[in-house]
Chains A and B, each alone.
Chain A
Amino acid sequence: MGLDIKIPIGAMFLLLGIILTIFGLATLHDEMYSISIGKNINLISGIGMVIFGSFMLLVSDLVRKKKLVDEDALKDDVLKKDD
């Protein structure tokens, strides 16, 4: 199947991470964080998810570029043999 699942996974966590980060920033020092032992858990989780999502997208991109380079090299080989 031609779907690279790293892209939707990366995109979803990046999006959710951005939302949680913004929400975390908007609710800095909000008293609702008393239940999560005083930590702004939305901000922390949001940043973590942004990093994870970006990492997935980055890996997907690197793999794709490497594949393109490999295919080009293969084509060059074939062309040389034809000559």
Chain B
Amino acid sequence: MEIFNLTWIDYSIMIIYFAFVLGIGWALKKYMKNAAAFLEAGRSLPAWVTGLAFISANLGALEVIGMAASGAKYGMATVHFYWIGAIPAMIFLAIFMMPFYYGSKARSVPEYLKLRFDEKTRGFNAFSFAIMTIFASGISMYALALLMETLLGWNFHMSLFISAFIVLLYTYLGGLSSAIYNEVLQFFLIVIGFLPLVVVGMVKVGGWDGLVEKLAMNPATAGMHHSWQAISPEHPMGGWMGIFFGLGFVLSFGYWCTNFLVVQRAMAAGSMSDARKTPLIGAFPKMFIPFLVIFPGMIAIALINMGDENFQLPIKGNGYDYDLVIPMLLHRFMPTGVLGLGLTALMASFMSGMAGNVTAFNTVWTYDIYQSYIVPGKPDRHYLRVGQLTTIFGVLVSILTAYVAKQFNNVMDFLQLIFAFINAPLFAAFLAGMFTKRATGNGAFYGLVSGTFSAAMVHGLTQPEGAQTLIKGGWAGAVLQTFPSEMAQNFWIAIIAFSVALVVTIVVSLSGKRTKSDAELKGLVYQLTPKTIDDSKHWYQRPVFLAWVVAAIAVVLSIVFW
């Protein structure tokens, strides 16, 4: 279905972008002298760089495409993934958790678990995280190649190998710093590349008022411009409880506070103060990204309501193929030139998703698996080499995963779901571990295992409305509860998994002896760590002040778009 006709100017823009990406990797090559430089960016980056990389690593294409699709399906309610589903967790990470991550000198999240709890807890987290990142990276590659095949008629295998090769080249050359610096470049490209589309689209539908008016033309889409008003237990997002506790607390804190992919960006900062400011600096643009990705979804619906003859959303099953909102809008509004810019921004977001996962995989594999279990006690040079080779290995396995995804689409959905089960219990282990000195290794480990298991069981016993395959749930034989959507189902799975994990962690911890003394837990547990004194020059640069500003803006935005 090739829908785009690109000209030389579009190709020039793509080529220039790739040249700069590789150039940044090349420029960083000379600094890669030890494992810490390659795998931890030498802990030397400024806060604004790590802050933008922090959100850019998350702003993969699956996020851009997924949020635009969700904007078309649910309208402004999608902002709950941002203002309540990200900002509070980012503030919590900055103010309360970063002092332990950064101050403990742990090089990764699994390593923190080893210092705080024990070897088996680290092992459980390291292996599950390593597998998860490789799958995520493979799925990004697959999705990019598929999109290029559909939109541009490019050969699937060629797109896959070229994108994998570019990511491999710049992460191999410059390691984590190359990925981070490129994420900053990608951040600006994504914003600048999509901005013309949003502006032209908004002007076309008549601004915000026009958008509201056009959404109201169809009773089914009227009121989509409200974020909270439409929320009820029947709403696809599953009511206030699901949004506050499932999305806003468990899923969001589980992702932003414990996922090494994002936490790694903050740990690469040059000082404790910069590490704490990383999520807060990232929070400022994060709050406004909805306007860039959710607005297009609503513009698409407004155009359909208006009967715009130049805009069509392809049909998929018994509804629209919402994943094509961004490409179809690019096709509708962007002439050659800015079209190349928009497509390059889309490719950039796929690649930042891949590179982020590959670099996080590298660090966890080299430090937490290879150095811990396979070949410990070698000189630093050895681990630098292993880190570099792991990059190649990681990209090759990702390519393999991409082909698995091509063959067995449903299997991938299922695996992704299983790994999504791991984050919620992990956050329970972190809460118990960081804020009580009584939590033990056994408690955390059995909490994680039972939480993950109960998540799988809830999934097996519930279904979203209209589910047709067992991948959506209900595979355990009986369906005890039906949710209005998959999303609502996920929120409740997270709530239950988290609660089970927390209770089991506490009960098992209390029924055994303490395994670590107060001295061993210094710097790892809240009560045993001296309060962090921030060394920022001015009061307005301090993390706590920034946190209040971020929180205030999020509240104001929520009220404005009530």
Contacts and interface: CB of A to CB of B under 8 A. Distances in A.
Interface of A: 1-3, 5, 8-9, 11-13, 15-16, 19-20, 23-24, 27, 30, 32-33, 35-37, 39, 41-42, 44-45, 48-49, 52
A3 B27 contact: yes
Contact of A3 (B9, B17, B24, B333): B24
Given A16-B341, A32-B335, A41-B334, 17 more contacts: A1-B44, A2-B31, A3-B24, A3-B31, A5-B184, A5-B185, A12-B16, A19-B9, A20-B338, A23-B9, A23-B337, A33-B335, A35-B332, A35-B334, A36-B335, A37-B200, A45-B341
Q: Which 6 residue pairs spanning A and B have beta carbons closest together?
A: A42-B337, A32-B335, A12-B20, A5-B181, A1-B177, A45-B196
Interface residues of B, number: 36
Given A36-B335, A42-B338, A1 B42 contact: yes
B16 A37 contact: no
A9 B192 CA distance: 12
A71 to B, nearest CB: 18
Contact of B184 (A9, A15, A23, A37): A9
Nearest to B187: A9
B482 interface: no
Contacts of B28: 1, 3
Nearest to B342: A45
Interface string B158-187: 000000000000000000010001001100
Interface of B: 9, 12-13, 16-17, 20, 23-24, 27-28, 31, 37, 41-42, 44-45, 49, 177, 181, 184-185, 188, 192, 196, 200, 203-204, 310, 332-338, 341
A52 B17 CA distance: 16
Contacts of B184: 5, 9
Contacts of A33: 335
A36 B333 contact: yes
A35 B335 contact: yes
Given A12-B16, A37-B200, A41-B200, A5 B338 contact: no
Nearest to A30: B335
A9 B24 CA distance: 10
Given A3-B181, A13-B188, A52-B192, A8 B335 contact: no
The residue among A36, A44, A52 with the most chain B CB atoms within 10 A of its own CB is A36
